[in-house]
């Protein structure tokens, strides 16, 4: 492919797979998220924000050229600022405060959903295990970031007026930074991905990155789904044991006592988040109970014992 063809292949990929099409993002921009959903998104997306400068540090360490490093260093600056109270992470924390979250709770990362954590960690791992060229290619989702930030800014001003102007500064800053970063990254990829093999690897890396962003929103969306037993699935006592079972057309699943407690709360009216906090109240000392609830429900949804109401 010529550089122009490669660029258009990358743009086509983004047009099809970038997370602006994700149902959760669509609902956000249409003004259909509840304040709880906005808060879950802000709290979880903060984990992604914290991974960005770490990933950029890894990329920096792969680069031989001072010119490249000088340019890439901007990104870390943008996120971390020049001192306390400055930079993108700080702006995200003001968004967190503006939507009604406790700043220090967000910073401690204790309530990050396991699916979000896994997706973000996969991004860092992807960059760690890639060479410079493909890790830069993976960052090219920024080519679509300027646009999504502009839409988001407009959507928040229009649909979520309860989030004060002060909270929107991150989006505003990114509408400028993302296109600049993207231009540099794209220029680098087009200049260095010359062989078919390299071009193929760049496209694959960007595809993986799109998948990661998609999974991140999947996990957030799943946390607000209101699960209930799928039609045809039934909770019953195990006739040949002491425990409980979910029995359905294709399989039977053995439940532990805590599994049963979760399934009983899956009545189609409570979100997984709500079930997790209810169980936290019931078992104040149980370590990692929120993660367990999210993972357990995700597992039962995968085998279709539970469905979203």
Q: Interface residues with another protein (CB under 8 A)?
A: 230-232, 234, 236, 238-241, 245, 247-250, 252, 304
Report in angstroms how near the CB of residue 144 gets to another protein at its nearest. 20
Report in angstroms how near the CB of residue 243 gets to another protein at its nearest. 12
How far apart are the C-alpha atoms of 44 and 118, rounded to whole Å?
12
Identify which of residues 239 and 257 has a Cβ nearer to another protein in the complex.
239
Identify which of residues 84 and 239 has a Cβ nearer to another protein in the complex.
239
Report in angstroms how near the CB of residue 252 gets to another protein at its nearest. 5
CB of 206 closer than 8 Å to CB of 217: no
Instruction: Provide the 8-state DSSP code for 267.
Output: B
Identify which of residues 153 and 247 has a Cβ nearer to another protein in the complex.
247
Q: Which of 309, 303, 307, 305 is nearest to 246 (CA)?
A: 305
Report in angstroms how near the CB of residue 241 gets to another protein at its nearest. 8
CA 199 to chain centre: 26
Identify which of residues 183 and 237 has a Cβ nearer to another protein in the complex.
237
Report in angstroms how near the CB of residue 247 gets to another protein at its nearest. 5
Q: How many CB atoms lie within 10 A of CB 97?
A: 15
List CB contacts of 180: < 8 A, sequence separation 6 or more: none
Strands of 181-262 (E only): list them: 227-229, 234-237, 244-247, 252-255
Strands of 80-171 (E only): list them: none
Identify which of residues 78 and 221 has a Cβ nearer to another protein in the complex.
221
């Amino acid at each position: 492919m010529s550089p122009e063809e490669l660029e258009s292949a990358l743009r086509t990929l983004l047009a099809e797979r970038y997370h602006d099409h994700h149902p959760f993002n669509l609902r956000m921009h249409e003004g259909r998220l509840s304040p709880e959903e906005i808060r879950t998104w802000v709290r979880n997306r903060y984990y992604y924000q914290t991974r960005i400068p770490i990933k950029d540090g890894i990329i920096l360490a792969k680069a031989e050229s001072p010119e490249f490093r000088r340019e890439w260093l901007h990104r870390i600056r943008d996120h971390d600022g020049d001192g306390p109270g400055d930079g993108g992470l700080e702006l995200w924390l003001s968004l967190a405060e503006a939507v009604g979250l406790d700043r220090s709770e967000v910073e401690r990362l204790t309530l990050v959903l396991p699916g979000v954590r896994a997706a973000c960690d996969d991004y860092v791992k992807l960059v760690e295990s890639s060479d410079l060229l493909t890790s830069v290619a993976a960052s090219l989702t920024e080519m679509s970031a300027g646009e999504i930030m502009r839409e988001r800014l407009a959507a928040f001003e229009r649909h979520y007026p309860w989030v004060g102007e002060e909270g929107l500064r991150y989006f505003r800053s990114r509408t400028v930074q993302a296109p600049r970063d993207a231009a540099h990254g794209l220029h680098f990829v087009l200049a260095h991905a010359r062989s078919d093999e390299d071009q193929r690897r760049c496209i694959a890396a960007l595809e993986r990155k799109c998948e990661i962003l998609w999974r991140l929103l999947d996990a957030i969306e799943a946390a607000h789904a209101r699960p209930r037993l799928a039609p045809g699935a039934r909770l019953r006592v195990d006739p040949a044991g002491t425990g409980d079972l979910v029995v359905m057309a294709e399989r039977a699943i053995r439940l532990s006592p805590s599994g049963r407690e979760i399934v009983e709360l899956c009545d189609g009216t409570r979100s997984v988040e709500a079930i997790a906090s209810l169980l936290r109240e019931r078992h104040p000392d149980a370590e990692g109970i929120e993660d367990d609830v999210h993972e357990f429900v995700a597992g039962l949804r995968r085998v279709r014992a539970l469905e979203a109401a």
